[in-house]
């Protein structure tokens, strides 16, 4: 079975057991954030430097009336015990719980916080903050504008179908917690995963897009890879802009790395079938970038937006990176 087929099978399974609901396009106001990977405030804690931006974002969305949907890997439970994370990030959990108490919160589990698949773990660690919360794997929403059905949103963390993160997750978690984490504490090295490897990330994003493209009027929103994905220009076009920006900023090493990725991707694009690309796959990015930035997806005012915290000047403000009419996006996914 090919990698693309494995991902498709995993997503099909998740959708079959998904929670379901309706998204009213005229009233929807939500932000989707994922891959915080809250740890225990040590050298291996990828969330630590992003905490200020994340708290600023939550403060803004709380007061602006948004719903908060956390799309998995919110806690880093492969490397840490729940008690360690809860003790380290009680204030962050309290901010998230403010959304729950006003009926504006949805929580998903991913591969690195798959402890929340267990009702007993949820009761022990999350209920004291949130109350009787449900943690889900997948959500399928029928998008409506008035009485008209425009299409469907599918939300999941994005690890579904992968060998190490889904089917063999128990073994992977044991290896990370007992072997890899002590090494990472000393070295700061990262595991080679879709979140850290350009080649693996590209393969995974292509598989996710391929699954969504086979559906009719379906948009898939996921996390997992830590790379934001919005309406796709050809991937090489986006990388060309990035190379130019890095060169202008005098960031020679970063520009060289981006150029390597660009030439790799041009070969892959040459192997792909020609034709328009459906805008059917979006990715939140993550809330654990090494520079302290957080990215996410907003759905509000009839639009879908890719946003980043902080802004270009490093202030606690959001920057809208890309935006589009969600109705137009669904129309293009026929």
Q: Is the pLDDT of residue 169 over 70?
A: no
pLDDT at 245: 82
pLDDT digits (tens, 9 = 90+) for 240-273: 777 888 888 888 888 898 888 777 766 655 544 4
Q: Is the pLDDT of residue 223 over 70?
A: yes
106 near 67, Cβ under 8 Å? Answer: yes
pLDDT band at 150 (very low <50, low <70, confident <90, very high): very high
Q: Is the pLDDT of residue 54 over 90?
A: yes
Half-sphere exposure of 67 (CA within 13 A, CB side): 16
Token readout for 30 is 């939500």
pLDDT band at 176 (very low <50, low <70, confident <90, very high): low
Which residues make Cβ contacts (< 8 Å) with residue 27, sequence separation at least 6?
none
pLDDT at 296: 98
pLDDT band at 277 (very low <50, low <70, confident <90, very high): confident
Q: Is the pLDDT of residue 165 over 80?
A: no
pLDDT at 79: 92
Q: Provide the edge-to-edge strand list for the sheet that holds 281-284.
A: 19-24, 138-145, 148-156, 218-222, 281-284, 228-229
pLDDT band at 192 (very low <50, low <70, confident <90, very high): very low
pTM, 2 dp: 0.84
* Ramachandran bin of 301, using left for φ above 0, alpha for ψ from -120 to 50, beta for the remaining angles: left
Mean pLDDT of the chain: 89
Structure-model confidence comparison of residues 114 and 165, the more confident one: 114
Strand residue runs (E) in 25-115: 29-33, 67-71, 105-108
First CA to last CA across the chain, in angstroms?
Answer: 28
Q: Is the pLDDT of residue 319 over 80?
A: yes
CATH of domain 3-232+279-331: 3.60.21
Rounded Cα–Cα distance for residues 160 and 261 (Å): 26
In the numeric block, the tokens 């009027």 are attached to 217
pLDDT digits (tens, 9 = 90+) for 298-310: 999 999 999 999 9
Q: What is the CA radius of gyration of the chain?
A: 19
Q: Is the pLDDT of residue 105 over 50?
A: yes
pLDDT at 243: 87
pLDDT at 263: 79
pLDDT digits (tens, 9 = 90+) for 1-32: 899 999 999 999 999 999 999 999 999 999 99
For residue 107, CA distances in Å to 28, 115, 148, 172, 253 come to: 17, 13, 28, 23, 38
Q: Is the pLDDT of residue 172 over 70?
A: no
pLDDT digits (tens, 9 = 90+) for 82-103: 999 999 999 999 999 999 999 9
DSSP 11-49: HHHHHHT-EEEEEETTT-EEEEE----B--SSTT-SSGG
Q: Which of 81-95, 169-183, 272-286 has the lowest mean pLDDT?
A: 169-183
Structure-model confidence comparison of residues 195 and 141, the more confident one: 141
């Amino acid at each position: 079975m090919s990698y693309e087929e494995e991902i498709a099978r995993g997503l099909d399974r998740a959708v079959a057991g998904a929670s379901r609901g309706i998204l009213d396009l005229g009233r929807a106001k939500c932000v989707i954030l994922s891959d915080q990977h809250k740890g225990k405030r040590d050298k291996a804690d990828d969330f630590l430097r992003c905490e200020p931006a994340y708290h600023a974002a939550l403060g803004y969305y709380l007061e602006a009336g948004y719903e908060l949907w956390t799309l998995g890997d919110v806690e880093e439970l492969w490397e840490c015990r729940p008690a360690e994370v809860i003790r380290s990030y009680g204030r962050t959990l309290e901010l998230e719980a403010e959304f729950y108490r006003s009926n504006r919160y949805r929580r998903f589990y991913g591969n690195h916080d798959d402890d929340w698949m267990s009702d007993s773990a949820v009761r022990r660690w999350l209920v004291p903050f949130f109350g009787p919360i449900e943690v889900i794997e997948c959500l399928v929403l029928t998008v409506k504008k008035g009485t008209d059905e425009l299409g469907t949103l599918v939300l999941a963390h994005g690890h579904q179908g992968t060998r190490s993160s889904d089917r063999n997750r128990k073994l992977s978690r044991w290896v990370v917690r007992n072997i890899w984490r002590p090494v990472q504490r000393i070295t700061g090295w990262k595991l080679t995963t879709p979140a850290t490897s350009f080649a693996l990330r590209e393969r995974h994003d292509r598989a996710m897009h391929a699954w969504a493209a086979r559906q009719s009027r379906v948009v898939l929103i996921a996390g997992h890879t830590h790379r934001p994905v919005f309406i796709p220009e050809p991937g090489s076009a986006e990388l060309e802009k990035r190379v130019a920006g890095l060169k202008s900023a005098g960031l020679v090493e970063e520009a060289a790395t981006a150029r390597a990725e660009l030439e790799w991707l041009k070969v892959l694009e040459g192997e792909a079938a020609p034709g328009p690309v459906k805008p059917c796959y979006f990715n939140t990015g993550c809330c654990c970038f090494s520079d302290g930035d957080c990215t996410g997806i907003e759905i509000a005012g009839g639009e879908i937006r890719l946003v980043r915290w902080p802004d270009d000047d490093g202030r606690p403000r959001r920057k809208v990176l890309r935006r589009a009419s969600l109705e137009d996006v669904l129309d293009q996914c026929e």
